[in-house]
Structure 1
């Protein structure tokens, strides 16, 4: 039985709910494993639409800092990266229509996961941020790939480098979000999912697979490069300084060493 992910199949809709609200749904190893399992279940069950959302005050704060501090062994790092890449690929190639419903914030890796869905809808007060720069790392989970698919490469690079928090309206203007809603997330879910049930979703999936199969080699290459770069950066002074500054609630002092 899952502890950090809640799943529910109701008719043609399968819900995956990030369920670690006391930590703003930040991902640690066990949560990654459960999320990957939930994606595998979703891929195989009878649902035609998969909805991903967060419990509590927001979607997710991304990777758990405490987990990063515990990744002393190389094999621990690669185990986590295996799970992250497995989740990304499962969402990207899933023969369903996938919808991320973001309230609160989707930061870092959570932003990457949300971008890997077919649709990303945001509450009007929600925020998106590729805020890896604060801890001296780069986006993973295919963040480079999905950002550049949505915006041009130059904009993607600047969003990554700045770590800027994007409002729902800004995300909509940049086409990082596909819609903005004002209602409570459960109320909006019923409204936004209903029209899909009367659409030719089998045809939708065929289109999705054509595009995915065309770009799959590029996504796989990006995931490999992200892993290699992350492995190098996690040994850097700037990453260690970024983590320490986060824990001490101060601005990091990077030295580029």
Structure 2
């Protein structure tokens, strides 16, 4: 099987009929750069084709799940062409995860923020530790969610709650995210791997074919809606990147200070 291959930014382990894919850039809190996203897409495409695999788990190495898109990498982007390519990779990832013909799980500890949270919400089951830090925090740098963030928040929370949660961009712990309806299960600190393994074992003793049929029926009517949302997000991201508020948000982020927004 291809998973003998080594990746720079991911670890892939196959145990029985489950694949465990670990974001492996702990030095940057597993921030998603182009290489990591491209490797993830390659892995997902391979796993998708493996009929023996029933479950896919995403998790993070080190102190957290994923801190979101790599801002340093984004600052190095040259113009619209780089941006369009970056967004295409993000959009492909979201669609692949959402329509994956497996039971998909995100096992969250520490931070799951921005694009990292969007990708987690693209999976079927999100399990997070009590003290994890979940944030759809694009607003803090004058941007809008990407990776299907709007779509996944709307699916899980309904339009109004999704809108207000995106506007606030606050950091929620696992319990708060669970109470809101954003995630599917909250677990004690340090227990997410154990609880995820227990869930995988439960799936192994379930009629997975029937489970997958229900998933494909529910996803079928929604995936074109996701694609539409991803296009809208891409256009909005490009426009927001030209705003004074975004430039101020990025400057404040790099200078570790509170941004002063003017609605410009």
2:27 corresponds to which residue? 22
Higher mean displacement: 130-139 or 68-77 = 68-77
Choose which of 193, 214, 238 in structure 1 pairs with 2:245: 238
1:40 corresponds to which residue? 45
Matching of residues 110-129 of structure 1 within 5 Å: 110-129=116-135
Choose which of 201, 204, 215 in structure 2 pairs with 1:208: 215
Helix, strand or coil for the counterpart of 2:146? coil
**Could you tell me whether the CA contact under 8 Å between 1:5 and 1:38 is conserved in 2?**
no
For residue 189 of structure 1, report the CA deviation from its aligned partner: 2.6
Q: Structure 1: give runs of 5+ residues left out of the alignment.
A: none
Distance 1:36 1:239 in 2: 28
Structure 1 position 107 matched with structure 2 position 113: yes
1:55 corresponds to which residue? 61
For residue 253 of structure 1, report the CA deviation from its aligned partner: 1.2
Structure 1 position 74 matched with structure 2 position 76: no
Helix, strand or coil for the counterpart of 2:259? coil
Structure 1 position 173 matched with structure 2 position 182: no
For residue 106 of structure 1, report the CA deviation from its aligned partner: 0.4
For residue 41 of structure 1, report the CA deviation from its aligned partner: 1.6
**Could you tell me whether the CA contact under 8 Å between 1:115 and 1:146 is conserved in 2?**
yes
**Could you tell me whether the CA contact under 8 Å between 1:131 and 1:163 is conserved in 2?**
yes
Distance 1:42 1:175 in 2: 29
Choose which of 197, 213, 222 in structure 1 pairs with 2:204: 197
**Could you tell me whether the CA contact under 8 Å between 2:10 and 2:22 is conserved in 1?**
yes
Q: What per-residue deviation string (whole Å, max 9, x for no partner) do you get for residues 94-130 of structure 1?
A: 1100000000010001111011100000011112110
2:263 corresponds to which residue? 256
TM-score (norm: length of structure 2): 0.95
For residue 255 of structure 1, report the CA deviation from its aligned partner: 2.0
Distance 2:154 2:145 in 1: 12
**Total equivalences in the alignment:** 257
**Could you tell me whether the CA contact under 8 Å between 1:140 and 1:226 is conserved in 2?**
yes
2:141 corresponds to which residue? 135
Q: Structure 2: give runs of 5+ residues left out of the alignment.
A: 1-5
State the superposition RMSD in angstroms. Answer: 1.1
**Could you tell me whether the CA contact under 8 Å between 2:130 and 2:187 is conserved in 1?**
yes
1:97 corresponds to which residue? 103
Helix, strand or coil for the counterpart of 2:221? helix
Helix, strand or coil for the counterpart of 2:204? helix
Q: What per-residue deviation string (whole Å, max 9, x for no partner) do you get for residues 10-54 of structure 1?
A: 211011100000000001111111111121122112210000000
